[in-house]
Chain A
Amino acid sequence: MTSISKAFGSSQALWDVSIELFGGSVHALMGENGAGKSTLMKILAGVHQPDSGEIHKDGARVSFANPKDALDAGISTVFQELSLLPNLTISENMFLGREPVTRLGTVDYAKMNAETRRALQELGLTLDPSSLVSELSIAERQFVEIAHGIKADASVFILDEPTAALNAADVEVLNRHIRRLRDAGKAIVYISHRMDEIFEICDTVTVLKDGQVIGTEDIADLSPDRLIAMMVGRELEDLFPNRSENLGERLLEVTDFQIAAGSRPFSLAVHRGEIVALAGLEGQGQQKFLRALIGLFHPVAGHVAIRGRQLPLPANEANGIRRLRSYGAAFVPEDRKEEGLFLGLSISHNIAMALHSKVSELQPARSFSGKVHDTMASMNVKAASPNAPVTSLSGGNQQKVLLGRYLAANMDLLLIEEPTRGVDIGAKSEIYKLLRDFADEGGAVLVLSRETIELIGLSDRIYVIHGNTVVSNMQAKDATEHKILDAALGA
Chain B
Amino acid sequence: MKPAEASERLKTSFGSLLSGRNSRQGRWFLALIILFLIAGLLSVYTEQFLSTGNLLNLIAQAMPLIITAIGMMVVVLVGGLDLSVGSVISFTTAILALGAPAYISIPGVFVLAALIGLTNGLVVTRLNVHPIIATLAMQFIILGFARILRPVSGGDIPDIVIASVNGAFLGVPLPVFWGIFTFVIAWKLIHGSRFGLHLFAIGGGRASGAEDAAHNFGVADKRNVLLAYVTCSCFAALAGVFLAGRIVSGDPNVGLNFELDAITAVAIGGTQLSGGVGSLHGTIIGALVMALLANGMNLANISPFVQTAIKGGILLLVVGLQSRKKMGL
Binding site for B on A (CB under 8 A): 47, 66-68, 71, 81, 83-88, 92-93, 96-99, 101, 104-107, 132, 134-135
Query: Which chain B residues numbered 205 to 233 have a C-beta less than 8 Å away from chain A?
Result: 205, 207-208, 210, 213-219
In the complex, the chain B residue whose C-beta lies closest to that of A67 is B216
Q: 15 A-B residue contacts at CB 8 Å?
A: A66-B215, A66-B218, A81-B210, A85-B208, A85-B214, A86-B204, A87-B200, A87-B208, A87-B277, A88-B197, A96-B198, A96-B201, A96-B218, A104-B192, A106-B188
> Once the chains bind, are B192 and A85 in contact (CB under 8 Å)?
no
> Once the chains bind, are A87 and B192 in contact (CB under 8 Å)?
no
> Once the chains bind, are B204 and A97 in contact (CB under 8 Å)?
no
**A67–B214 alpha-carbon span in the complex (Å):** 11
B24: Cβ under 8 A from any A Cβ: yes
**A107–B194 alpha-carbon span in the complex (Å):** 6
Cβ contacts under 8 Å, A87 to chain B: 24, 200, 203-204, 207-208, 276-277
In the complex, the chain A residue whose C-beta lies closest to that of B192 is A106
**A78–B273 alpha-carbon span in the complex (Å):** 29
**A86–B188 alpha-carbon span in the complex (Å):** 23
Task: In the A-B complex, list the 6 residue pairs whose CB atoms are closest, starting with the nearest.
Answer: A68-B218, A97-B218, A87-B204, A96-B217, A106-B192, A87-B276
Q: How far is the CB of A106 from chain B (nearest CB, A)?
A: 4
> Once the chains bind, are A96 and B192 in contact (CB under 8 Å)?
no
**A81–B215 alpha-carbon span in the complex (Å):** 15
B22: Cβ under 8 A from any A Cβ: yes
B128: Cβ under 8 A from any A Cβ: no
> Once the chains bind, are B218 and A134 in contact (CB under 8 Å)?
no
Given A85-B204, A88-B204, 8 extra CB contacts under 8 A: A67-B218, A68-B217, A83-B213, A85-B213, A88-B200, A92-B201, A104-B192, A132-B22
> Once the chains bind, are A97 and B24 in contact (CB under 8 Å)?
no
Q: How far is the CB of A444 from chain B (nearest CB, A)?
A: 36
Q: How far is the CB of A149 from chain B (nearest CB, A)?
A: 13
**A99–B197 alpha-carbon span in the complex (Å):** 9
Cβ contacts under 8 Å, A88 to chain B: 24, 197, 200-201, 204
Q: How far is the CB of A383 from chain B (nearest CB, A)?
A: 25
> Once the chains bind, are A92 and B197 in contact (CB under 8 Å)?
yes
B301: Cβ under 8 A from any A Cβ: no
Q: How far is the CB of A288 from chain B (nearest CB, A)?
A: 26
B193: Cβ under 8 A from any A Cβ: yes
Query: Which chain B residues numbered 270 to 318 have a C-beta less than 8 Å away from chain A?
Result: 276-277
Q: How far is the CB of A335 from chain B (nearest CB, A)?
A: 15
**A134–B276 alpha-carbon span in the complex (Å):** 12
Q: How far is the CB of A357 from chain B (nearest CB, A)?
A: 23
**A107–B204 alpha-carbon span in the complex (Å):** 18
Cβ contacts under 8 Å, A132 to chain B: 22-24
Cβ contacts under 8 Å, A71 to chain B: 218
Cβ contacts under 8 Å, B192 to chain A: 104-107
**A363–B210 alpha-carbon span in the complex (Å):** 40
**A97–B216 alpha-carbon span in the complex (Å):** 9
Q: How far is the CB of A342 from chain B (nearest CB, A)?
A: 13
**A92–B215 alpha-carbon span in the complex (Å):** 15
Cβ contacts under 8 Å, B193 to chain A: 105-107
Cβ contacts under 8 Å, A84 to chain B: 213
**A85–B210 alpha-carbon span in the complex (Å):** 9
**A134–B219 alpha-carbon span in the complex (Å):** 20
Contacts A85-B214, A105-B192, A134-B22 given; does A96 touch B219 at CB 8 Å: yes
Q: How far is the CB of B298 from chain A (nearest CB, A)?
A: 38
Residue in B22, B188, B198, B217 whose Cβ sees the most chain A Cβ within 10 Å = B217
Cβ contacts under 8 Å, B216 to chain A: 47, 66-68, 83
Q: How far is the CB of A408 from chain B (nearest CB, A)?
A: 28
Q: How far is the CB of A71 from chain B (nearest CB, A)?
A: 8
Cβ contacts under 8 Å, A47 to chain B: 216
Q: How far is the CB of B272 from chain A (nearest CB, A)?
A: 9
Q: How far is the CB of B328 from chain A (nearest CB, A)?
A: 15
**A84–B213 alpha-carbon span in the complex (Å):** 7
Cβ contacts under 8 Å, B214 to chain A: 85, 96
Cβ contacts under 8 Å, A81 to chain B: 210
**A374–B125 alpha-carbon span in the complex (Å):** 45
Q: How far is the CB of A163 from chain B (nearest CB, A)?
A: 21
Q: How far is the CB of A152 from chain B (nearest CB, A)?
A: 11
Cβ contacts under 8 Å, B208 to chain A: 85-87
Q: How far is the CB of B213 from chain A (nearest CB, A)?
A: 6
**A96–B196 alpha-carbon span in the complex (Å):** 12
> Once the chains bind, are A135 and B204 in contact (CB under 8 Å)?
no
Cβ contacts under 8 Å, B215 to chain A: 66
Cβ contacts under 8 Å, A66 to chain B: 215-216, 218
Report which of B22, B24, B194 forms a contact with A101, defined as CB distance below 8 A: B194
In the complex, the chain B residue whose C-beta lies closest to that of A135 is B22
**A479–B193 alpha-carbon span in the complex (Å):** 62
**A98–B192 alpha-carbon span in the complex (Å):** 15
Cβ contacts under 8 Å, A96 to chain B: 197-198, 201, 214, 217-219
Cβ contacts under 8 Å, B219 to chain A: 96-97
Q: How far is the CB of A141 from chain B (nearest CB, A)?
A: 12
**A97–B201 alpha-carbon span in the complex (Å):** 10
Q: How far is the CB of B59 from chain A (nearest CB, A)?
A: 27
**A107–B191 alpha-carbon span in the complex (Å):** 9
**A174–B192 alpha-carbon span in the complex (Å):** 36
**A68–B213 alpha-carbon span in the complex (Å):** 11
**A92–B205 alpha-carbon span in the complex (Å):** 13
Q: How far is the CB of B203 from chain A (nearest CB, A)?
A: 7
In the complex, the chain B residue whose C-beta lies closest to that of A89 is B24
**A135–B217 alpha-carbon span in the complex (Å):** 20
**A378–B219 alpha-carbon span in the complex (Å):** 48
**A84–B214 alpha-carbon span in the complex (Å):** 9
Contacts A106-B192, A107-B193 given; does A97 touch B22 at CB 8 Å: no
Cβ contacts under 8 Å, B201 to chain A: 85, 88, 92, 96
**A99–B192 alpha-carbon span in the complex (Å):** 12
Query: Which chain B residues numbered 173 to 199 have a C-beta less than 8 Å away from chain A?
Result: 188, 192-194, 197-198
